[in-house]
């Protein structure tokens, strides 16, 4: 049974030497998730991490990566390790879970560079990770707790590090994520499977916790999704050439309309789009 989310310490509370804060002493910070996962579910965000963000891992003094809350199966943590090794052969990936039985079941898969450990948002690992991926973890928390959870993880990042708070459907066809550095949220990423949607705004049901309840008139994320839908519909004549061309035209149109799109055609052709966080951040 999934526990009700324990409240997390105020975002103004900064951690000590280990960056730990919130929760009771000696206890992992967080709650057991449903644990639902499937192989290859995280392929879209991993493709972004090994593409535009690969420089972070290449430049890291310590190539430490955390897969936070990998779920009932360690498959996606193993996949992350295999994918990141193509970028940095000496990468170290630590899968962290708050449920002891999930850690016990994962440990037979350990190998040099890949390990599994009991823990939570406090990230009980030696050193500071350059990448932290937490997918489908924060959805079970209160909106008011998101900022504190973000701050807790951000305080543990290495210089140049990145925290990915994301959500996806069961087999990874619709994916969204917020990317944060140690100081602030940087962007919102979307990645959809061509042929798996009628309108781009259908991804709204998979928005990260910070945005999922904000998709209402008057909020920036609602305006952005509406702009995507409008550009998608207007690009319908290109559908005869394939959804890749239609998606690319949509991305170009919203960029030309003034939305701060951060990527380009090489990413658009993958069904991906990133936009600066300030353009979609929740209103006051």
pLDDT one-digit tens code per residue, 193-251? 999 999 999 999 999 999 999 999 999 999 999 999 999 999 999 999 999 999 999 99
Lowest mean pLDDT among 2-6, 23-27, 99-103, 141-145: 2-6
Per-residue pLDDT at 4: 41
Nearest Cα neighbor of 135 from 68, 188, 189 is: 68
Chain segment 144-156, per-residue pLDDT in tens: 899 999 999 999 9
Selected residue with higher pLDDT from 24 and 182: 182
Q: How confident is the model at residue 28 (pLDDT cuts 50, 70, 90)?
A: confident
Residue 25: pLDDT band with limits 50, 70, 90: very low
CB burial readout 160-176, b (16+ within 10 A) else e: ebbbbbbbbbeebbbbb
List the domains of the chain with CATH numbers: 43-209+267-279 (3.40.50.150)
Average pLDDT over residues 167-171: 92
Residue with the bigger pLDDT between 144 and 271: it is 271
Both tokens of 128, joined, read 């500071």
What pLDDT score does 36 carry? 65
Stronger pLDDT, 60 or 6, i.e. the higher one: 60
- pLDDT exceeds 50 at position 18: no
Q: Rounded CA gap, 136 and 69, in Å?
A: 8
Is residue 20 pLDDT above 90, yes or no? no
pLDDT tens digits, 94-130: 999 999 999 999 999 999 999 999 999 999 999 999 9
For 248, half-sphere exposure in the C-beta direction (CA atoms, 13 angstrom radius) is: 13
Per-residue model confidence (pLDDT) at position 251: 98
CB 87 within 8 A of CB 59: no
Q: pLDDT tens for residues 29-67?
A: 876 666 567 778 999 999 999 999 999 999 999 999 999
Alpha-carbon Rg for the chain in angstroms? 19
Contact (CB, 8 A) for 96 and 120? yes
Cα distance between residue 237 and residue 246, in whole Å: 8
Are 148 and 22 in contact by the 8 Å Cβ rule? The answer is yes
Angle, vertex CA 133, rays to CA 130 and CA 138, nearest 5 = 135
Give pLDDT, residue 37.
Answer: 73
């Amino acid at each position: 049974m999934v526990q009700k989310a324990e409240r997390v310490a105020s975002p103004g509370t900064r951690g000590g030497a280990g960056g730990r804060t919130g929760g009771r002493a000696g206890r992992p910070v967080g709650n057991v998730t449903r644990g639902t996962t499937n192989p290859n579910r995280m392929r879209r965000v991993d493709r972004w991490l090994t593409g535009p963000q690969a420089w972070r891992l290449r430049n890291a003094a310590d190539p430490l990566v955390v897969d936070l809350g990998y779920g009932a199966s360690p498959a996606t943590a193993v996949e992350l390790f295999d994918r990141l090794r193509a970028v940095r052969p000496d990468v170290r990936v630590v899968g962290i879970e708050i449920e002891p039985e999930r850690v016990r079941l994962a440990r037979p898969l350990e190998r040099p560079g890949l390990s599994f450990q009991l823990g939570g948002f406090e990230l009980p690992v030696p050193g500071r990770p350059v990448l932290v991926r937490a997918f489908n973890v924060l959805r079970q928390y209160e909106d008011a707790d998101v900022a504190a959870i973000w701050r807790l993880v951000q305080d543990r990042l290495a210089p140049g590090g990145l925290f990915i708070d994301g959500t996806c459907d069961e087999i990874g066809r619709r994916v969204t994520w917020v990317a944060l550095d140690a100081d602030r949220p940087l962007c919102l990423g979307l990645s959809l499977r061509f042929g798996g949607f009628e309108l781009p705004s259908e991804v709204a049901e998979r928005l990260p916790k910070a945005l999922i309840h904000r998709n209402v008139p008057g909020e920036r994320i609602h305006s952005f999704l509406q702009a995507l839908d409008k550009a998608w519909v207007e690009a319908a004549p290109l559908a005869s050439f394939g959804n890749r061309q239609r998606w690319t035209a949509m991305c170009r149109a919203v960029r030309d309309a003034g939305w701060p799109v951060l990527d380009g055609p090489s990413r658009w052709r993958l069904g991906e789009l990133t936009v600066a966080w300030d353009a979609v951040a929740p209103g006051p």
